[in-house]
Amino acid sequence: MFNKILIANRGEIALRIIRACHELRIKTVAVYSTADELSLHVRFADEAVCIGPPASKESYLNIPHIIAAGEITDSDAIHPGYGFLAENSEFAQICNDNGFTFIGPGPEIIDAMGDKSQAKITMKAAGVPVIPGSDGNVLSIAAAIKEADKIDYPVILKATAGGGGRGMRVVHNSSDMEKAFNTATAEADIAFGNGALYIEKFVENPRHIEIQVIADAFGNAVHLGERECSVQRRHQKLIEESPSAVVDAELRARMGKAAIKGTKASGYVGVGTVEFLLDKNNKFYFMEMNTRIQVEHPVTEMVVGCDLIKQQIRMHAGDKFPDYFYNLKLRGHAIECRINAEDPANNFCPSPAVVESFHMPGGKDVRIDTHVYAGYRIPTQYDSLIAKLIVRATTRQGAINRMQRALEECIIEGPKTTIPFQQAILRDKQFQSGDYNTGFLETFDYQPDRKD
Ligand code: MV4
């Protein structure tokens, strides 16, 4: 096992990783920017190294400074968390080249999954259902029209270097292709330095269902059920749950089997997420694989009862699966709300501020992951996540009730937060029935002052 892990991240996830390390009796090193001097990850790590000024590019994305921090503290592994350098293959390679274990899959696998059209080819070859479309990229407008004629409109153009919703264009007929192709490729080139596009049949109002997988370094892989992440606004997830209201044991077994096939075929090691679209006929299609621990991993932890980050660290230390991994049971229902410092009454405008008072809920099966405390100033440079509130109960309705009770106990004075919006969703008949999809928030009528 590792002696000391450097955490190349900040905020709640840095704290979350420190907690896992300390339970494993692994020493921890925090890195921080000058904006985060008073952060809890700095306080709770065994050591802390300042790696630069507030701008991410000069601190949390500053590879030479992070490697230097690893060297002066004699760390033996680096955990990237999510965001920042988590899916940067160059960083993974540089960690390895400098004698640090990168806590994530190898750089080849990050690259293979980071190229979205290549990842589809890999998954299709492994027998995983993929959305009908081009095998690889479409290199010209003419090629895009030819593919679209085969699969029929509407189609969607996606940046192969993209993911998470950036650089996409829906196309309804051949006369719209030229403009869509040109703007999508230009956008992708600016955003990712790679304008290559692929094309797919556009699936109307799908559900976003992702399967959590974990693989050891000996070719073993299991899935830990699904998370439903269809409650999104402009590709920002607001509420996640497990299990999905529409995934029964039979569908879960098929999706899980497909996810494991893809995981094994790509030679994956560690924790990962296989994202699927589920259409209105409950047919599922591979979309992307995330090669990191995700923000919403606690939803899975609550129903599985394991610590995903401890397991992730063990897999990268070369441990084999424990036997109980093959008999994991999913128990009850979990829901997560991502509480952001944003004003839902004002187009989700960021609301960075000093948190004047801060009280978080407690009680049975209520979990809070946060780095925030009373007096904490939310920096303007980073994402606006204040806290993740996760609850578990025996049934979905029980979990909704528990989340409503827990949200009522939250006191956050200073910034505006997304809590009133999440409360409105939890009250919504359609959400309560479980019959919602990724289009849900597009038509959601949020009335800030209504409390019924
Ligand atoms: C799609 C799609 C419909 N058809 N692909 C958005 C994020 C990126 N990972 C892929 N996305 C989509 N891909 C096809 N062929 C609809 C979406 C999509 C979406 C997917 C998941 C969750 C929320 C979404 C919101 C809008 C569009």
- Establish if 274 belongs to a structural domain: yes
Pair 119, 288: CB distance under 8 Å: yes
Residues 197 and 211 in one domain: no
Q: Band the pLDDT of 369: cuts 50, 70, 90.
A: very high
Residues 303, 193 within the same domain: no
pLDDT for the residue numbered 164: 72
Check if 19 is active-site: no
Q: For residue 88, what are the domain limits?
A: 4-103
Residues 226 and 189 in one domain: no
40 and 176 within one domain:
no
Is 50 within the bounds of a domain?
Answer: yes
- 80: in domain: yes
Q: Is the CB of residue 290 below 6 angstroms from any atom belonging to ligand 1?
A: no
| CA distances in angstroms from 70 to 4, 49, 84, listed in the order given | 9, 9, 17
Type of residue numbered 196: A
Q: Is residue 310 part of a domain?
A: yes
- Residue 389 sits in the same domain as residue 351: yes
Those residues whose C-beta lies under 8 Å from the C-beta of residue 191, and which sit 6 or more positions away, are: 159, 162, 166, 167
Are 411 and 264 in the same domain? Answer: yes
Same domain, 387 and 271: yes
Q: Parallel, antiparallel, or unpaired for β 411-413 and 385-393?
A: unpaired
- Distance (Å, whole) CA 122 – CA 309: 27
pLDDT of 163 over the 90 cut = no
Give the mean pLDDT of the chain. Answer: 97
Does the CB atom of residue 288 touch ligand 1 within 6 A? yes
CA of 77 to the centre of ligand 1 (A): 35
pLDDT in tens, 76-125: 999 999 999 999 999 999 999 999 999 999 999 999 999 999 999 999 99
Amino acid at residue number 370: T
In a domain, 117, yes or no: no
Q: How many domains does the chain have?
A: 3
Atom of ligand 1 nearest to the CA of 200: 15
- Residue 283 alpha carbon to ligand 1 centre in Å: 15
| pTM listed for this prediction | 0.97
Q: What is the CATH number of the domain that holds 73?
A: 3.40.50.20
**Residues 366, 292 share a domain:** yes
Q: Is there a single domain that holds both residue 151 and residue 280?
A: no
Has residue 374 been placed in a domain? Answer: yes
15, part of any domain: yes
pLDDT band at 341 (very low <50, low <70, confident <90, very high): very high
Residues 426 and 307 in one domain: yes
Kindly report, residue by residue over 222-244, the tens digit of the pLDDT: 999 999 999 999 999 999 999 99
User: Residue 319 sits in a domain of what CATH number?
Assistant: 3.30.470.20
**Burial of 113 per CB tally in 10 Å (0-12, 13-18, 19+):** buried
> What is the residue-wise DSSP string for 374-422?
TTPBPPSSS--EEEEEEEEESSHHHHHHHHHHHHHH-EEESS--SHHHH
361 lines ligand 1 (CB under 6 A): no
- Quick one: 57 and 186 in the same domain? no
Backbone angles phi, psi at 185, to 5 degrees: -70, -40
Size of the chain in residues: 452
Tell whether ligand 1 has an atom less than 6 A from the beta carbon of residue 203.
yes
Residue 207 CA, distance from chain mean position = 16
Q: 452 pLDDT exceeds 70? A: no
Is the pLDDT reported for residue 165 higher than 80?
no
Q: Are residues 221 and 333 in the same domain?
A: yes
The answer to whether position 71 is within a domain reads: yes
The pLDDT value recorded for residue 167 is 80
Q: Is the link from the previous residue into 54 a cis peptide, with omega within 30 of 0?
A: no
